[in-house]
């Protein structure tokens, strides 16, 4: 029996990344740095990855998507795409945080530290007695913890591998964005229009 195909993608930072795997084997991988334009680039990139491997949408067994933390707009783009694809293809979509993806294959206990913006980092400890979630803080204010290691896998590859491993889990939650701070955009202060009934 052929290995199942998993498609992983991420737009949570200044990039658009995608990978197609057959089991653990990488069939196609793309990573394009971009500060903007992920919404317009994501689906063409996914189709290029599928075409490179000679696969189609109907061949996929699972979709993995980066859920952040990271760029608000980028996270929403990827999560919405994954949910829509899962619904239309009738396959599971699995949300994977960028810290989980970075921790794949690392010795544990370990700390994953990823660059954020304005001198801050996103970090999370793995394999410790206390389970932690992702945190964001200035790079020079990290608390003591386990050793830090660099990620061993491209982010889209790690997301696809984790998604395939979680594919059969019961009551798998739908992918949801992971935000560590409120959005920079504030709601409008003007009163909205009066709706007449």
All domains in the chain, ordered by first residue = 5-106+151-166 (3.30.420.40)
pLDDT in tens, 35-64: 999 999 999 999 999 999 999 999 999 999
pLDDT block averages, 10 residues each, the chain of length 197: 89 97 97 96 98 98 97 96 97 97 97 91 93 90 94 98 93 91 57 57
What pLDDT, on a 0 to 100 scale, did the predictor assign at position 49?
Answer: 98
What pLDDT, on a 0 to 100 scale, did the predictor assign at position 190?
Answer: 58
Least Cα distance to 95 among 174, 38, 167 occurs for 174
Rounded distance between C-alpha atoms, residue 146 and residue 109, angstroms: 6
pTM for this predicted structure = 0.91
Taking all residues of the chain, what is their mean pLDDT, rounded to a whole number?
92
What pLDDT, on a 0 to 100 scale, did the predictor assign at position 183?
Answer: 55
Residue 64 in contact with residue 163, Cβ under 8 Å? yes
């Amino acid at each position: 029996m052929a290995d199942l195909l998993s498609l992983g993608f991420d737009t949570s930072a200044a990039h658009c990344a995608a990978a197609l795997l057959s089991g653990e084997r990488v069939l196609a991988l793309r990573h394009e740095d971009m500060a903007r334009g992920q919404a317009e680039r994501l689906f063409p990139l996914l189709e290029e990855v599928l075409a490179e491997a000679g696969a189609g949408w109907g061949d996929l067994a699972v979709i993995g998507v980066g859920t952040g933390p990271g760029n608000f707009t980028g996270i929403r783009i990827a999560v919405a795409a994954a949910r829509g694809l899962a619904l239309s293809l009738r396959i599971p979509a699995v949300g994977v945080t960028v810290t989980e993806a970075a921790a794949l294959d690392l010795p544990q206990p370990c700390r994953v530290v990823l660059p954020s913006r304005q001198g801050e980092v996103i970090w999370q400890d793995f394999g410790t007695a206390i389970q932690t979630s992702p945190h964001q803080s200035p790079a020079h204010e990290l608390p003591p913890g386990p050793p830090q290691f660099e990620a061993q896998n491209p982010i889209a590859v790690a997301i696809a591998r984790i998604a395939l491993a979680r594919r059969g889990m019961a009551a798998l939650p739908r992918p949801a964005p992971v935000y560590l701070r409120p959005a920079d955009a504030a709601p409008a202060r003007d009163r909205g229009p009066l709706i007449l009934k």
